[in-house]
Structure 1
Amino acid sequence: MLTGKQRSYLKSLANTIKPITQIGKMGITESFITQLDEALEARELIKIHVLETSLLNTKDAANEVAQLTRSEFVQAIGNKFVLYRKSKENAKIHLPN
């Protein structure tokens, strides 16, 4: 569980990154979750874009993806959301206490 200070820190880092993938009309598939698991392990902080053709609400999609990838929801702005999960082997982001 992230504290407010940690969430703010991650939001500031997320400002500079671009979405690495998108959710379209196919929705959230098993292969999509596998791709995100690998991305979270490599990057720790990822941004995802929910296309207008998707039938999913951005916050609902973010919460579902966070649960399926065992990651933390950081924020949702417009059609984009940010997730964080500490890497098991190669942690790069050091959260404030």
Structure 2
Amino acid sequence: MLTGKQKRFLRSQGMTMKPLINVGKNGMSESFSDGVLKAIETRELIKISLLQAAETTPKEVGAYLADAIDGLEVAQTIGRTLLVYRKATDPDNRDISTKIAKL
């Protein structure tokens, strides 16, 4: 569980990021969650954008990903954009999580 300070730090890091994954008309599937897992393993913090054609809401996408991927947390939801975080299992990819641990 992230504290308020940690979420604030993640939001500041995510401000300049561009969406890495887009959710479209096909919605959420197992391949979608696999793609998110691969991306989050290397980056720890990713931005997901829902296109106008998407039939799901950002809240549904966040709940689906939190159930599908252990340890994933939604740091922020603004409009149709989600910012999600998960600590990397590989110590070489732990850049953001080491900064968060100090907060």
Give the TM-score band, short-chain normalised.
over 0.9
Matches within 5 A, 1:1-97: 1-70=1-70, 71-89=72-90, 90-93=93-96, 94-95=99-100, 96-97=102-103
Q: Which runs of 5+ in 2 are unaligned?
A: none
TM-score (norm 1): 0.93
Aligned CA RMSD, in angstroms, stands at 1.0
Instruction: List 4+ stretches of structure 1 deviating above 3 A.
Output: none
Tell me the CA shift for residue 66 of structure 1: 2.5
Question: After superposition, what is the alpha-carbon deviation per residue over 1:72-93, rounded to whole angstroms, capped at 9, x for unaligned?
Answer: 1101111100100011112011
Matches of 2:63 and 2:14 in 1, distance apart?
Answer: 17
The C-alpha deviation readout for 1:30-63, integer Å capped at 9, x for no partner, is 1111111010000000000011111111122122
Amino acid at match of 1:79: R
How many residue pairs were aligned? Answer: 97
Percent identical pairs in the alignment equals 38
Once residues 21 and 55 of structure 2 are traced to their aligned partners in structure 1, the CA distance between those partners, rounded to angstroms, is: 17
Taking structure 2 as the reference length, the TM-score comes to: 0.88
